[in-house]
């Protein structure tokens, strides 16, 4: 199955989250065969990352967005486990610092874009500035509404300069979010992850749905597509994200460079 075609948000198409089933597994089952496919993809990622680093001409930027508990951390932990830390950089975007607020909203984002030869992963991203600031009314509509075009222009600039942008929206249901929040309350191993803010944000679910629908609809482009990944089933979320990353890197087809000098002249004793 071509997950890229199946889950891509087509440019120019209006997105309604209710039309996408967060329990969808595209006909896949949680079994040994599926596990082997994921293992194969993780091994392939390792090879493709090596080639990307050796080629040193392009970069890959992976953006992860989603409601609280949608699995951004889990996706990084499981899907990116096969990558070499030397060529992979994770950036988590929290509330902007005083320094960051003294610049335009994309300043801190551009600083974190991966250099040539590397893979960058954004846990949250530039889209916080059309999501959180909108839902919490931090800036007026006249400000956040202009940022869609600015984000599109920024991502096109990256693409034109050798940075491939992959954006994943991890789509969970409100019911699944509740179960995951309950697990954080009852499981001692997960207590540290819980925050009162999680429950306050949950009350704004509908507002976030509207904000995400606009972001997905207005900012899925040919050069930086959005993929809406059903994320109620963690195993399938990992499978789909890994497969799309592998397919994208294989399409990029990074090449190992030739030696910079005549190897025949080297004599080992």
Q: Domain residues of the chain, as ranges?
A: 3-11+29-254
Domain boundaries 3-11+29-254, corresponding CATH code: 3.40.50.300
Residue 173: per-residue pLDDT: 98
3-state per-residue secondary structure call for the chain: CCHHHHHECCCCCCCCHHHCCCCCCCCCCCCHHHHHHHHHHHHHHHHHHHHHHHHCCCEEEEEEEECCCCCHHHHHHHHHHHCCHHHEEEEECCCCCHHHHCCCCCHHHHHCCCCCCCEEEEECCHHHHHCHHHHCCCCCHHHHCCHHHHHHHHHHHHHHCCEEEEEEEEECCHHHHHHHHHHHHHCCCCHHHCCHHHHHHHCCHHHHHHHHHHHHHHCCCCCCCEEEEECCCHHHHHHHHHHHHHHHHHHHCCCCCCCCCCHHHCCCC
Torsion of the alpha carbons at 32, 37, 39 and 44, rounded to the nearest 10: 170
- Output the six-digit token pair for 12: 């120019």
Residue 28: per-residue pLDDT: 97
Residue 258: per-residue pLDDT: 86
Residue 223: per-residue pLDDT: 96
Q: What is the mean pLDDT of each run of 10 residues along the chain (269 residues)?
A: 95 96 97 96 95 97 97 94 88 96 97 97 98 97 98 98 98 97 90 86 96 98 97 98 97 91 78
Residue 144: per-residue pLDDT: 97
Please tell me the distance from the alpha carbon of residue 109 to that of residue 207, in angstroms, as a whole number.
24
Residue 259: per-residue pLDDT: 80
- Output the six-digit token pair for 109: 């984002």
């Amino acid at each position: 199955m071509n997950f890229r075609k199946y889950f891509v948000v087509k440019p120019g198409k209006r997105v309604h989250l209710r039309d996408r089933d967060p329990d969808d597994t595209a006909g896949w089952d949680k079994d040994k065969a599926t596990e082997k496919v994921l293992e194969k993809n993780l091994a392939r990622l390792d090879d493709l990352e090596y080639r990307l680093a050796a080629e040193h001409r392009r970069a890959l930027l992976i953006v992860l967005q989603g409601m609280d508990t949608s699995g951004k951390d889990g996706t990084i932990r499981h899907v990116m486990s096969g990558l070499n830390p030397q060529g992979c950089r994770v950036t988590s975007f929290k509330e902007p610092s005083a320094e960051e607020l003294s610049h335009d909203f994309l300043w801190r984002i551009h600083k974190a874009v991966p250099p040539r030869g590397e893979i960058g992963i954004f846990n949250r991203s530039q889209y916080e500035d059309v999501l959180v600031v909108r839902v919490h009314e931090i800036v007026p509509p006249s400000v956040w509404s202009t940022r869609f075009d600015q984000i599109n222009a920024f991502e096109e600039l990256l693409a034109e300069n050798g940075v491939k942008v992959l954006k994943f929206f991890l789509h969970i249901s409100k019911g699944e979010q509740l179960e995951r929040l309950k697990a954080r309350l009852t499981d001692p191993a997960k207590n540290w992850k819980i925050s009162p803010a999680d429950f306050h944000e949950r009350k704004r679910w509908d507002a976030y749905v509207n904000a995400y629908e606009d972001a997905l609809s207005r900012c899925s482009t040919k050069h930086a597509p959005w993929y809406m990944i059903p994320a109620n089933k963690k195993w399938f979320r990992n499978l789909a994200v890994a497969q799309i990353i592998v397919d994208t890197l294989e399409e990029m087809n990074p090449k190992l460079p030739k030696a910079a000098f005549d190897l025949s002249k080297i004599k080992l004793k």
